[in-house]
Amino acid sequence: MRDPTSFLRTEYDELVHADLDWKLRLLAGPSTPWSIVDGKKVLMFCSNNYLGLSNHPAVKEAAMEAIRTHGAGSGSVRPIAGNMDLHMELERRLAQFKGAEASLVYQTGFAANSGLIPQLVGEGDLVVSDELNHGSIIDGVRLSRAERAVYKHADPGDLERVLDASEQHSPAYRRILIITDGVFSMDGDIAPLDKVSALGATHGAMVYVDDAHGEGVLGEGGRGIVSHFHLSRDQVQVEMGTFSKAFGVVGGHVSGSRDLVNFAYNKSRTWLLSGSAPPAVAAACLAAVDVLEHETDHVRRLWEHTRRFKRAMADLGFDIGRSETPITPIIVGESSVAKRLSQRLFELGLFALPIVFPMVAKDRARIRTIMNAALTVEDVDFAISAFETAGKELSII
């Protein structure tokens, strides 16, 4: 009898043969500057934990206290019996932090994109998307029945071309949604959201920004890309984000008008039909917002370390691309070179993973580094020294 699942082994073996399968490293203990990975003490240099909040005492204590007072789980989806006071307070505080009328918390950032985008647009609508947008945006767009157009990466001129052409469509589109990452996760560059939002206003389009890598990094006190460009909520209708990066916990969210939030929690099935965040998670996220509001040194140190590292890597002759943020790619070209560099760095005590095709173009393989505010200056210098040693050994510099 034919095995209907034989394709699983075949396709996995093909990935292994092409050296394109993920080989998971094992983190034992917390995500801290010096972590135990595969049994070896190494400097963590590829975590999304930008501000080190995943191990912040106040964040950990809030999670433990919530378990004592609210239990381990919520018991339901939020529309039925899982809507706790912690969830509501988190959304109130997040909206206040973001300077928005309202916020809505999802189980993950991926759930926010895949659940909200298909409700904002559908048949008879158009989504205009940056060509390097995150996979969660791409999947959200595919789940909608809207037509799709792609504009060249971070290119307002090409976006304008697409929008101008959309005005000739017959019949006219009901709605147009422009969607972009705020900070692009592979290159560390920032979307020109000021120009994108201006074009949206000119053409009557909604603007949706995925600010997962901008929160805690850009804007006043880490308030994100809308703050960074001093934009109003009338100019950017949907600001999506995640608690799993600079906030140091897990979960997704959207911020905007009260109408947006009312619409989202009544229409977005990833929110309606998924169990709500456990009390410990909601409380930890709430504590992380509080830390960001009151401990401004974290964001300052993040940028000081970032500038130090970028300057040193450029001086050594590494290609760091177009990065403008604490994401700094070390672009080496071939996938095999990136993998050898990552392995040598690990041997030297630095944990930084390679990013290879198909996640990036075949000739743009890289080590993606992400800075962390919890590092010391000595830690940053250790990383620079490891890159210099490995780069020279592999004839990259």
Torsion of CA 206, 212, 214, 219, to 10 degrees: 60
Sheet holding 354-355, edge to edge: 327-333, 365-370, 354-355
The sign of the CA dihedral 155, 158, 159, 160 is positive
As a residue count, the chain comes to 397
In what order do the strands lie in the sheet containing 40-44? Answer: 27-28, 34-37, 40-44, 350-351
Q: What is the DSSP string of 330-341?
A: EEEESHHHHHHH
CA angle in degrees (0–180, nearest 5) for 286-31-251: 35
Q: Is 245 part of the annotated catalytic residue set?
A: yes
Q: Which residue among the candidates 47, 129, 185, 244 is catalytic per the annotation?
A: 185
Burial label for 270, CB within 10 Å (0-12, 13-18, 19+), is buried
- DSSP string of 253-312? EEEE-HHHHHHHHHH-HHHHTSBPPPHHHHHHHHHHHHHHHH-THHHHHHHHHHHHHHHH
Is there a contact between 179 and 210 (Cβ–Cβ < 8 Å)? yes
> Which residue from 110, 105, 154, 111 is spatially nearest to 135, judged by alpha carbons?
110
* Residue 185 is a catalytic residue: yes
Residue 355 contacts residue 338 (beta carbons within 8 Å)? yes
Strand order in the sheet with 176-181: 102-106, 252-256, 238-242, 206-210, 176-181, 126-130, 147-151
Q: Is 213 a catalytic residue?
A: yes
CA end-to-end span of the chain, whole Å?
Answer: 56
Residue among 213, 228, 298, 310 flagged as catalytic: 213
Residue pair 66/279 in contact (Cβ under 8 Å)? The answer is yes
CA–CA gap between residue 273 and residue 76 (Å, rounded): 9
Q: At what angle do helices 377-393 and 335-347 cross, to 10 degrees?
A: 130
Active site residues: 185, 213, 245
